[in-house]
Structure 1
Amino acid sequence: MINFKVQFSLLFFLVLNFFNAQTPFEYEKETGYKGNNIPGLTYIEDSFNFLVLGDFGRVGDYYQKDVARELGNATVVLDAEFIVSVGDNFYPNGVQSTQDYHWISSFESIYTNPSLYTDWYVALGNHDYRGSVQAQIDYSKISRRWHLPSRYYSKTFEIENGEKLLLVVMDTNPFIEDYHKSPEKYDGIKKQDTLAQTKWLEQTLGTSDPSIKWKIVVGHHPLYSGGKRKTDKNTLSFEKKFANVFEKYKVDAYICGHEHDLQIIKPKGRKTAQFLSGSGSEVRTTGNREGTIFAAAEPGFMTFSILKNKLLVQTVKANANGAQVLHQHEISK
């Protein structure tokens, strides 16, 4: 039996630790980190965190350097596990090889915060198809942080107490009909087997693993948009192909880009919420549609934090003046 003195000492220790608890940012600043905090960015102790960036590779121009700087700061603030790229990694025409200078000018020399030397899970965009997709896959063997093992793939992460997150990365490009009309522009597009990928997608999402608590799908093209492509036939067609599939397999979130803005959309009656983060460098005017929860024509990215039955998504604006949290959205299981 623990005596009163031991009980009191234990209680005192716990209370002292509570009041002395440091955030990841506070710890890093004490050890010499030179970056800045992001006011309003919520860190949840013990949460599983990752960041989402899209449509970024522009040799540091437009807003790319500003977004890269604040992406690094946010990774420190949240102690994030990894980064997700939703595609259009290199403008305007992808890369030609693993030695293409675009790797240096648009990636390695831009995302230089030490926190960003973590795992990047990468999707392919339409501009990536204008160069060598195979070169981006092969770069996974050269770079410690670049992960693109194949055109589409999945990865499972342990979150807490044996529960897992299933991250499914699609190659949405072969499902866009207009690209097949210009095969000379989109290298290898006609060779892609959409039936095989759809079968793989359904098998992967249909997992019987009871430890999978969260299902998140990543792709380049949106299911929905209130922006430039709101009524585009390719957007409407993509929704018809996959919105019901995601509902069938109870996908919690679909993460995408393609539109150069920041949007959160969840149409009435749908389980799957769409998070569009496509303003990693260039910004375009956006707007609303049925189900729009948030939309902003601002440069930036999104952060995802999972703890127990909650998923917190924070939308961050980044420019030359710093960073600002524009919106927070929570999903509860």
Structure 2
Amino acid sequence: MRKLMCFTGFACVSMLFIIAVSSWFFIHDLDVSSPNDVPIQSINLMDPQRNERSFRILLVGDTGGIPILETTWAQRGVKEMMTIVAEEKDIQMVLNMGDNIYFTGPTDEFDPRFESRFESVYDSPSLQVPWLTIAGNHDHFGNVTAEVEYTKRSRKWYFPSLYYKKTEEFNGTKIDFIMIDTISLCGNTKDIQNAGFIEMLRNESHDPRGPVNITAAEEQWSWLESNLEQSDAQYLIVSGHYPIHSISSHGPTECLRQRLDPLLKRFNVNAYFSGHDHSLQHFIFEGNSGHKINYVVSGAASRADASTKHIKEFSKDNLRFNYPEKSWISWSPVSQLGFRKGGFIYAEFRHDAALLDFFDKNGKQLYATVIPIRQIPSDTATKSTISPFIEI
């Protein structure tokens, strides 16, 4: 008990020290904006026919705030820019890529952090749309089932099951959003669950070593393959917390490279969206018969990591963009505690292609790309879209 109290005191003092040091860095190393960083202006162009021509979303990840401070400086800046873009573009949905409550996930569906880390943060009228949510590794440190249950208590939090399908249509064009739980498929980054903050800190960190429940993982793999095979959507989007490809601190997820990526290629998935690494990244890899698959990381909603630890694993042909740019120091408490950089992605699905705009917390457009409409495999186009598994 004496050792635990000592460790607890040490951890608390360490956290306060890090915050104090980070605050000093923040004051002396502010992210000074250039003239090109002027935030975009909301002009509130509400086109009554817009919904017939496109479907518009924001893509965010790792929104879960931080202990003591609740929300980060970067997160508040990102939220303000999300609000402006959401109002101007009249968005219809947000994809939320996991790590929703740092550092240990909720205790139950009544956990006050749902309010302090989500509801009271993303409270702008333009953000009151469905937030399609999945779990991250930090959510699984706590009671991840509570996040599913919280769907019943929130007007915008949408997390009906650990994995699910959501279909949207606009004037004959269909989008299938396949939301998966990569922690159940691949395992967590620490061998701990439903534990407190101190226990989480003491536990060894490692790459995912495999699912805890192999039977449940195989059921999800079967569900995923069935839904991909049966989809006749012009856009087929798979979203999970762990990235398949990443140049940043965590890097690629080998489990997903081995089992998920072949499915994406087999069924001509348009894109795989993820979070986990606190950055914005875009990769393009060849699929089947000339089809190209886009891999997008959006995990910078509350903090940003400039690490390029795994960049040598990728060619310039595959890696198209990454943010933040590499700094003189690969790890900084200023960045990790969310005092400086952050970002998100706006995606607009049209009848012929999807347009993706990458923004930082100042509203500066960092990068843009186009995702062509899907080439539906011939053996898939004739199949029924009715799935024997869960579909929301």
Secondary structure of the structure 2 residue equivalent to 1:302 = strand
2:271, 2:294 within 8 Å by CA — same for their partners in 1? Answer: yes
Cα 1:76–1:178 shift into 2, 3 Å = closer
Secondary structure of the structure 2 residue equivalent to 1:66 = helix
1:87, 1:257 within 8 Å by CA — same for their partners in 2? Answer: yes
Residue matched to 2:262: 244
Of 280, 284, 293, the residue aligned with 2:320 is 293
Q: Is 1:327 equivalent to 2:382 in the alignment?
A: no
Cα 1:168–1:278 shift into 2, 3 Å = same
Residue matched to 2:75: 64
1:224, 1:236 within 8 Å by CA — same for their partners in 2? Answer: no
Q: Is 1:306 equivalent to 2:344 in the alignment?
A: no
TM-score with structure 2 setting the length: 0.68
Of 281, 285, 308, the residue aligned with 1:263 is 281
Q: Is 1:168 equivalent to 2:178 in the alignment?
A: yes
Cα 1:276–1:317 shift into 2, 3 Å = same
What is the CA-CA distance between 1:170 and the residue it aligns to? 0.2
Q: 1 CA distance for matches of 2:305 and 2:235?
A: 31
1:254-303: CA deviation from partner (whole Å, max 9, x where unpaired): 00000001000113557221110000111111434221000012411011
Name the Cα RMSD after superposition.
Answer: 2.4
What is the CA-CA distance between 1:185 and the residue it aligns to? 6.2
Q: Which runs of 4+ in 1 moved over 4 A?
A: 183-187
TM-score with structure 1 setting the length: 0.80
Residue matched to 1:279: 300
What is the CA-CA distance between 1:103 and the residue it aligns to? 1.0
Secondary structure of the structure 1 residue equivalent to 2:71 = coil
Q: 2 CA distance for matches of 1:87 and 1:164?
A: 24
Cα 1:45–1:325 shift into 2, 3 Å = farther
Q: Which moved more, 1:247-256 or 1:97-106?
A: 97-106
1:192-243: CA deviation from partner (whole Å, max 9, x where unpaired): 611100000011111154xx1110011000000111123x6xx123211211
Residue matched to 1:103: 114
Q: 2 CA distance for matches of 1:177 and 1:133?
A: 14
Secondary structure of the structure 1 residue equivalent to 2:254 = helix
2:57, 2:94 within 8 Å by CA — same for their partners in 1? Answer: yes
Q: 2 CA distance for matches of 1:175 and 1:128?
A: 15
1:44, 1:305 within 8 Å by CA — same for their partners in 2? Answer: no
Equivalent pairs, count: 286
Q: Is 1:190 equivalent to 2:205 in the alignment?
A: no
Q: 1 CA distance for matches of 2:180 and 2:80?
A: 27
Identity across matched positions, percent: 29
1:57, 1:107 within 8 Å by CA — same for their partners in 2? Answer: yes
Residue matched to 1:315: 358
What is the CA-CA distance between 1:176 and the residue it aligns to? 2.5
1:8-59: CA deviation from partner (whole Å, max 9, x where unpaired): xxxxxxxxxxxxxxxx943479xxxxxxxxxxxxx99932110111001112
Secondary structure of the structure 2 residue equivalent to 1:206 = helix
Q: 1 CA distance for matches of 2:141 and 2:193?
A: 9
Q: 2 CA distance for matches of 1:116 and 1:176?
A: 32
Counterpart of 1:159, as a letter, is F
Secondary structure of the structure 2 residue equivalent to 1:63 = helix
2:173, 2:351 within 8 Å by CA — same for their partners in 1? Answer: no
1:56-112: CA deviation from partner (whole Å, max 9, x where unpaired): 111212411111111111111111110010000010011111221111111111111
1:260, 1:277 within 8 Å by CA — same for their partners in 2? Answer: yes
Residue matched to 1:90: 101
